[in-house]
A and B are shown apart, each in its own frame.
Chain A
Amino acid sequence: MSDLRDDENISPDTVFYVRVSKEQLTEKNSPEGPRPSSHVFDDSTDENGVSGASIIFKHLLEDAGGKIADAVVNPDRFGLVELTVRDVREFGQGVVFDPKPNTDQHHRLCGPAHGLICGPKQKSKKRNIAKRARWIVLPPLT
């Protein structure tokens, strides 16, 4: 559960990425191809006690000089899906900016673009959001 509220100043057309680890793939043998598990959209709690599911705003990543490869971090372990703010608001979720300091080389360009999906996340909501996600980079299937 998160206490954060949706930032209504963020346009519903705003695009963001979500990193998916290779352990979070489901339906690898499906004719439609693999999907991210609903658990990709679980909340985490940071060192300040702020909870939400981490995202990377596309426009802020690009403003920082970052590319898709920077958001993936490590293609041997991670892939990337894309969603719009509208996609998650339809399921009662909010989106906020949550920039992080550039303390880690992997996240140097992603820190300023970091954000959170916030709101109560029943399994059905996470599952519906996972079904909306569009692959940008598929993680390794092994």
Chain B
Amino acid sequence: MAGNNLAEDYYSPEVLSDFRWNNPPRVQTTQSKYMLEEEEISWKQEIFERFAYLTILRSGWDSYSAKRINEDLAQDAFEILISVANKRTPKPDVIPTKAGGINIEWHVNNIDLEIEFTSLSDIEVYYDKLNDDEEPIEELLSADISPLVNYVNMLTTD
């Protein structure tokens, strides 16, 4: 890392002007995933751009030795997020991890829910309901990601 030019230091200049991914989505979930519809999740486009932004961060984006975000992983994470969310789902925070993964977080309604995409095959879930005495749930998912729907739905359960 050298110099004070932000773009030069932390972003990949070749993609700075284009936050859109060029490749087609790797996970097919719905036929109309990129079309705006009346039933659309309100934060979908904003979060899509957030994912795309994270993929242009250069290695060392944390000022230390953080890896570049794996673009395939980011695309999968976005597609899975959209497939398990619904229009009542609050907007998540999407955070890069130092290992090159993606963490999707909600901290709403006294619930901490984090879904971490550590590799193309592993997803770690952390669920903690803050106003009960239960221990937080930490679960590793691989092939079957259907439990994610339940976790996400718990964010909006009255």
Contacts and interface: CB of A to CB of B under 8 A. Distances in A.
A46 interface: yes
Nearest to B138: A123
Given A77-B10, A122-B138, A46 B65 contact: yes
Interface SS majority for chain A: mixed
A24 B139 CA distance: 22
B93 interface: yes
A54 B64 contact: yes
B66 interface: yes
A25 B95 CA distance: 8
Interface residues of B, number: 31
A77 to B, nearest CB: 6
Interface residues of A, number: 31
Contacts of B96: 23-24, 39
B136 A124 contact: yes
A76 B6 contact: yes
A124 B126 contact: yes
A122 to B, nearest CB: 6
B18 to A, nearest CB: 19
A14 to B, nearest CB: 21
Given A23-B95, A74-B4, A77-B6, A123 B107 contact: no
A124 B93 contact: no
A39 B95 contact: yes
Contacts of A54: 64
B62 A45 contact: no
Contacts of A77: 6, 10, 63
Interface stretch (B41-49, B70-78, B98-106): B98-106
B1 interface: yes
A26 B99 contact: no
Given A23-B54, A43-B98, A127-B112, 12 more contacts: A19-B63, A21-B61, A21-B63, A23-B57, A27-B107, A42-B99, A44-B65, A77-B63, A78-B63, A106-B63, A123-B116, A123-B136
Q: Closest 6 CB pairs between A and B?
A: A123-B126, A26-B93, A37-B95, A42-B98, A44-B65, A124-B136
9 contacts: A21-B63, A23-B54, A23-B57, A23-B95, A26-B107, A37-B103, A38-B103, A39-B95, A77-B6
Interface of B: 1-2, 4, 6, 9-10, 54, 57, 61-66, 93, 95-99, 103, 105, 107, 112, 114, 116, 124, 126, 128, 136, 138
Interface of A: 19, 21, 23-28, 30, 35, 37-39, 42-46, 54, 73-74, 76-78, 104-106, 122-124, 127
